[in-house]
Amino acid sequence: MIEVTEVPSPFCGIGTDDLTIRVDGVSLKVVENGCPVNTPAFEQAITDTSPRVDGKDVSLDAAVAKAAALLKGTNQPVIGGCATDVNGMRALLALADRCGAVVDNMNFNATRRNLLALQDSGWMTTTLAEVKNRCDLFLVVGADPESFAPRFFERYLWNQESMFLEDTGNREVIYLGKAPSGNASTSPKGQKAQVFECGMEDLPELVAVLRALVKGQPIRAESVGGIAVADLQGIADKLKAAGYSVVTWAASALSYDQAELTVQTLSEMIKDINDLNTRCSGLPLGGKEGDQTANQVCGWTTGYPARTRFSKGFPEYDPYLNDIEVMTANGEADALVWVQAFNVNAVPPATDLPTIVIGRSGMTFAKEPDVFIPVGTPGIDHAGHAYRMDNVVAIRLKKCRDSGLPSTSDVLNAIEQAL
Amino acid sequence: MLIKLTGGTVYDPASGIDGKKQDIYIKDGRIVNQPGPDVQIDKEYDLSGKVVMSGAIDMHTHIGGGKGNIARTLLPEDHRMDPVHRTDATRSGTGHAMPSTFVTGYRYAEMGYTAGFEPAVLAVNARQAHMEMADIPILDKGGYVMLGSDDYLLRMLTAKKDQKAINDYVAWTLQAAKGIGIKVVNPGGISAFKFNQRKLDLDEKNSHYGVSPREILQVLATAVKQLGITHPLHVHGCNLGVPGNMNTTLDTIQGIGGLPMHLTHIQFHSYGTEGDFKFSSGAAQIAEAVNRNKNITIDVGQVLFGQTVTASGDNMRQHANHKHASPNKWVCMDIECDAGCGVVPFKYKDQNFVNALQWAIGLETFLLVDDPWRIFLTTDHPNGAPFTSYPHLIRLLMDKSFRNDMLATIHPEAQKMTTLASIDREYSLQEIAIMTRAGAARLIGLQDRGGLSAGNWADITVYTDNADREKMFAKPDYVFKDGELVVRDGTVVHSKWGTTHIVKPDWDPSIEKDLQKYFDRFLTMKVGNFKISDDEFTDIGRGSLTAHPLKGEVA
């Protein structure tokens, strides 16, 4: 039995790297600094160690050969999931380039809300250490940071010491849209967050009015989505008075049509505040389990985010047409490769297509895929790199145990070789 | 495998050879002496009538790191116009302003370049910079690690820590981030922007730390010198792009008191305030100061016309410049109490007075600085123009009549504000070889690169002499990287992986205790997880580290 300390997590998106993990053979126990997101993700037991073809145990070589054979005659293979580490994504993109596949990160429909805003008008953002040391007003729009990452407030707002704030407990937290699911946003002194609740369907209008108020535009209505304009004016005034406010949202929570316009309005409001003689920055919540990693690696390899096709021999990005769930449902694909090294519950979409799953050991299927190759999890079974939600910091994942499971990149490189 | 390159005309400033017909032998990746008459030559290339130089080295090019990837993500329309097909030898990708990593490597190699150095590696983002560069084929690479707006250093300066303590921190950071030099960007200004300061002159104090850019430059330049790091402090000065900033630049040169200092993309820092538009060329004064101060080296950051994207650590100035964004979208980011970045697309237009004069100022600088060993050919890729425009830039420098033809087409008021037409100088092939090869290798401190004498790694470029220098430099006949033929007739025929160049100055191990406490108190990761380990380069199976000696050390 050994203990591994200062373990970084690829699961929570906020780059916690202070976990202590007790390793007993291949079973792990988080003994320090766990949370409801990280602890089960680390402690997930290994079940399968053997690859399967048509439900029968086979050698890794045989499974790789079968996967290559399935891909060989295809006209339009698709690669979904895209949940792995940097090396896994490198191998995935090499394979996609080799066989003309469409690559699509499983959470791209959420990420798209941010990317469309970014690619249309840009934004001003910040990172977690700036939040931790500088943020004096934290505005949460339609999101619930503590269910996203249970230790978010503990690590980045209620930290004991900060570089530039006398007392982090004096930070103000405001929720607009959703109420928090728990009490993590309550300061250590007991100061509760201000909450202005509305229906998610009212959020676009609410955000538009808030931006108008920031810009000093007159608003005739007295309330928007059930929230008094006077309250919104109060938020606008606080944003303008703060020294370094941070506005956060979670693209995945903005699950309504044209939510990119909400992201864009918020981003433009943040820019406006920076022209009003103070500072303000955005902090998009998201990017767990390899989402950010997929977009980063695909970004430098192809120039585009991770919804990109190689069918014509070069990368082409389309945030709508390259949605592989739509493609498989519409009969536009003839084979599916699903890559998910982090989450046993994130299984491939139901399909009759030939299916190859490169998945975390422990994954179970309603319908057995043609090929299943269990792989190790980056940060548990092998070292690797994963991006944090704020994109700047790539964390060095550790190997905690010897499971003998191959890495995603081992398997995908072998399939590419076999082609 | 013994390769012989027979009868080429060699330009090798590192050995003082200027256009001499000479054979070159390659064995095991390196250049060797003539092995004797009985030794069998495995492969011979007839280079009679060809021009032979070592592989070119871009000493300042933004090819790795978060801001580049933001630039890529921001501009899908720019990539869409420049798709790059997969071939038997190469991966697919996209090009233009901020090409994908694979395309970056191929296109550099296809112009005869064999190394590129990323000048703005944020320590906290260094993993990303190295991971991106690990996916750039063929080229060797390396990075300059950014300091000067990081809280730890500014805190040390506020507390008046001694130079020795600062040296230890600089050395520690350089090794943790695996760099080969130290860069400072808008010294203290990136931090000041986070405290809502919108400009910071050389003697203006950061409002929180009470430290001025001049003090930061002084301690960092001293640290670099005392640690024996070959590459001088790499400085992106104050007031980038601001009319009148030539005075800041002159003051910066004076103020460094003879310490080695490299002023980067100096074109963007050479502006006066004369004329009807209150914008004029300061190139003559800057060049004069550079000529006089032998401790100063510069690269130009030439502007060339067309669409590009500017990506800089200087979020203070990038935020101020966002009003010029074209297309109108831009990103600014505050980063980890360490640094920042700003990404602003730009379209430089020859009929825009300011852009046209920027073009002329860059060329004036090239032509008025006397010593080619102290000036380097850059566009600050992609900020002044994409690196793919280098052959065009070389023609502008080597061909006066071509230059004057171009000059005649730019904004007429800009033509009146430049002395370019009266400058007769034309760069020679040897001077180009100095700027892009021997000088760059010497400036960075690369051992066994940038020269063609025995013992050097066989990074070799072979051109067909052509009076049209743009055509000549755009399409080498052959490029060898570490002795392997990678480019034939301007096309990649074989891909391989280069090394990452670093230096390893020493530090007092006791400082890690303080850093550990500091990281635990204020930052978002453990100090042990911050430091990049060697196996992060090698575990992908194609990377390596090459450590170069410090000054005074024997390798």
Rounded Cα gap, residues B116 and B431, in angstroms: 19
pLDDT class for B312, splitting at 50, 70, 90?
very high
* Spatial separation of the C-alpha atoms in residues A182 and B79, rounded to whole Å: 45
Instruction: Identify the closest residue of chain B to A300 by CA–CA distance.
Output: B100
Beta pairing partners, B484: B481
Closest approach of chain B CAs to the CA of A131, in angstroms?
9
Listed residue (B153, B171, B151) closest to B219, CA to CA: B153
Band of the pLDDT at A408, cuts 50, 70, 90?
very high
User: Which residue type, as a one-letter code, is found at position B101?
Assistant: T
| Cβ under 8 Å to B: A residues 14-33 | 15, 17-18
Which residues 6+ apart lie within 8 Å of A252 measured at CB?
A107, A110, A286
Q: State which of A258, A285, A312 marks the end of a domain.
A: A285
Average pLDDT over residues B331-357: 98
Residues A271 and A343 in one domain: no
Mean pLDDT of B196-214: 98
- Touching check for A205 and chain B: CB below 8 Å? no
Tell me the shortest Cα–Cα distance from A245 to chain B, in angstroms: 11
Instruction: For residue range A325-358, list pLDDT tens digits in order.
Output: 999 999 999 999 999 999 999 999 999 999 999 9
Are both A203 and A245 inside the same structural domain?
yes
pLDDT of residue B552: 79
Q: Min CA distance, A322 vs chain B (Å)? A: 15
**B38, burial (CB in 10 Å: exposed 0-12, middle 13-18, buried 19+):** exposed
Q: Which residue of A has its CA nearest to B315?
A: A124
Q: Are strands B140-146 and B500-503 parallel, antiparallel or unpaired?
A: parallel
Contacts of B327 in chain A (CB under 8 A): none
One domain, residues A169 and A310: no
Chain A nearest C-alpha distance from B339 (Å): 10
Question: Is there a single domain that holds both residue A81 and residue A186?
Answer: no
Please answer yes or no on whether B93 and A130 come within 8 Å at the CB atom. Answer: no
Q: Identify the residue among B78, B80, B121, B334 best suited for mutation to test binding to A, counting A beta carbons within 10 A and taking the highest.
A: B334
Alpha-carbon torsion (B262, B265, B266, B272), positive or negative: negative
Residue partners of B320: CB distance under 8 A and separation at least 6: B198, B199, B241
Q: Total domain count for chain A? A: 2
* A189/chain B closest Cα distance in angstroms: 20
Contacts of B79 in chain A (CB under 8 A): 302-304, 315, 317
Has residue A136 been placed in a domain?
A: yes
Percent helix, strand, coil in chain B (nearest 5)? 35, 25, 40
Cβ contacts (< 8 Å) between B128 and chain A: which residues? Answer: 296, 392, 394
Q: Is residue A6 part of a domain?
A: no
SS3 of A66, please? helix
Closest C-alpha among A319, A302, A354, A360 to residue A333: A354
pLDDT tens per residue, range A136-159: 999 999 999 999 999 999 999 999
| Cβ-Cβ contacts under 8 Å, A296 against chain B | 69, 128
The whole-number pLDDT of residue A288 equals 87
Show contacts of B255-258: CB within 8 Å, 24+ apart: B255/B202, B255/B214, B255/B217, B255/B218, B256/B217, B256/B218, B256/B221, B256/B295, B256/B296, B257/B218, B258/B293, B258/B295
Q: Does residue B516 carry a pLDDT above 80? A: yes
Mean pLDDT of chain A: 97
Q: Please indicate, yes or no, whether residues A184 and A299 belong to a single structural domain of this protein.
A: no
CA angle at A189 for the pair A187 and A195, rounded to the nearest 5° = 40
Is A43 part of the contact surface with chain B (CB cutoff 8 Å)?
A: no
Pick from A128, A279, A393: CB nearest B196: A279
- Single out the residue of A207, A205, A210, A179 nearest to residue A192, CA to CA: A179
A274 and A176 co-located in one domain: yes
CATH label of the domain that carries residue A61:
3.40.50.740
How do the domains of chain B map onto residue ranges?
55-307+347-450
Tell me which chain B residues have a C-beta less than 8 angstroms from the C-beta of A155: 524
H-helix segments, A222-290: 229-241, 259-274
Report chain A residues whose CB lies below 8 A from the CB of B99. 303
Q: pLDDT at residue B553 above 80? A: no
Comparing CA positions, the residue from B250, B263, B174, B187 lying closest to residue B218 is: B187
Whether A98 and A128 share a structural domain: no
Q: Do A396 and B529 touch (CB under 8 A)?
A: yes
Are A237 and A349 members of one domain?
Answer: no
Range of the domain at A82: 46-107+289-418
Same domain? A94 vs A135: no
Whether residue A122 lies inside any domain: the answer is yes
Q: Does A267 touch chain B (CB under 8 A)?
A: no
Query: Does A204 lie in the same domain as A281?
Result: yes
- b/e string for A329-342 if b means 16 or more Cβ within 10 A? eeebbbbbbbbbbb
Interchain pair A119, B73: CB under 8 A: yes
For chain B, give the mean pLDDT. 97
Please tell me the predicted confidence (pLDDT) of residue B554: 58
Q: Could you say which of A256, A285, A314 is where a domain stops?
A: A285
Q: Which ipTM score applies to this complex?
A: 0.97
User: Where residue A174 sits, what CATH number does that domain have?
Assistant: 3.40.228.10
Average pLDDT over residues B168-191: 98
Chain B residue numbers touching A8 (CB-CB < 8 A): 525, 529
Are residues A254 and A401 located together in one domain of the fold? Answer: no
The residue assigned the tokens 């005739």 is: A220
Instruction: Name A22's bridge partners.
Output: A3, A29
The pLDDT value given to residue B540? 86
Q: Out of A125, A243, A310, name the one closest to residue B333 (CB).
A: A125
Q: Which CATH superfamily is domain B55-307+347-450 in?
A: Metal-dependent hydrolases (3.20.20.140)
* Any B CB within 8 A of A155 CB: yes
Which of A285, A314, A348 is where one domain is finished? Answer: A285
